[in-house]
Amino acid sequence: MTEERSPVLFLGDSITAQGSWDAWLPDEHTLNQGVSGDTTDGVLARLDAVVAEQPEVIVLLIGTNDFGNHRASAEHVVRNVETILVTLRRELPGVRLLLVSVLPRQAEYSTKIEEANRHLRQFVATCHAQYLDAWPALSDGDHLDDRFTDDGLHLTDDGYRAYLGELVPALERVRGLPPMSRSFTAIDLDEAPA
């Protein structure tokens, strides 16, 4: 019997939810915690469920709906993503974190997205995370390349192929890093001596 790898948990919105991660990454044990329409606030609210899975790797792709549906500022997205990363690092000290840049979408959002991505790229090292800039592979200037989308936001099969072309090597790099901390056994605080 082959030993099953610890899960790679995909966390995000519909772009994550619609991904066929098991099929695309057959050598990985994947968990899809993408929620269509989700925002950075939504991810923050459900971090307990992420921590409960005890994943080895977390791939976080979130933020586009904050801009689109909720007209949030770049600062709001950056602050929330930073809080998500810091919380995950604290709760899962050995987890390997991969933050994916907010993907390109319609041109009207590019200024805010690029500003958020610039800040997040600079921040990830402070919580021992890796950053995947997927913008160059998916954009046509200031918007999501028409070859990769039918609606200016969601990815088509070709869009996912282009994204996977960036994601797979990034996952390999994340896997190749030394663990962030030694493994430890959780202590049941109710039964631990005072």
Higher pLDDT, 160 or 192: 160
Q: Which has the minimum average pLDDT: 17-21, 26-30, 180-184?
A: 180-184
The pTM is what? 0.89
User: Within 10 A of 27 (CB to CB), how many other CB atoms are there?
Assistant: 6
Query: CB-side exposure of 167: number of CA atoms within 13 Å?
Result: 23
DSSP secondary structure code for residue 27 in this structure = T
pLDDT at residue number 179: 54
- Which residue did the predictor score with more confidence, 4 or 126? 126
Asked whether the predicted pLDDT for residue 58 surpasses 70, the reply is yes
Q: At which residue do the structure tokens 């200024």 appear?
A: 111
pLDDT class for 175, splitting at 50, 70, 90? confident
Rounded to whole angstroms, the Cα distance separating 191 from 185 reads: 14
